[in-house]
Amino acid sequence: MVSRKKVQKKRKPLKFKTISIKLTARQKKSLTNYCKSRRTTPNKIIKKSLAPLLQKYVDLEINHTNTKVNQLELFNLE
């Protein structure tokens, strides 16, 4: 008898975007020391601290208008 492996559906690959930030030497040293003390990585620390802020704004709709705040109604063509 030949045993067959179950064929699993391929998962859709996740798309990741890269964001870069600049830290001072002191901030970088502080971040690495914090990570060493918690036995984790800087990426995980940053993602964990940003998660509560970013969860709120996933479905937020932003409306942009082209009118300036201090523009007179006289020149507004809309």
Spell out the domain ranges in the chain. 22-53
pLDDT tens-place string over residues 11-60? 889 899 999 999 999 999 999 999 999 999 999 999 999 998 888 888 88
Both tokens assigned to 58: 């996933």
Among residues 55, 54, 60, the alpha carbon closest in space to that of 19 is found at 54
Asked if 31 and 23 touch (Cβ cutoff 8 Å), the reply is yes
Tell which wins on pLDDT, 5 or 56: 56
Asked if 43 and 54 touch (Cβ cutoff 8 Å), the reply is no
Entry pTM: 0.57
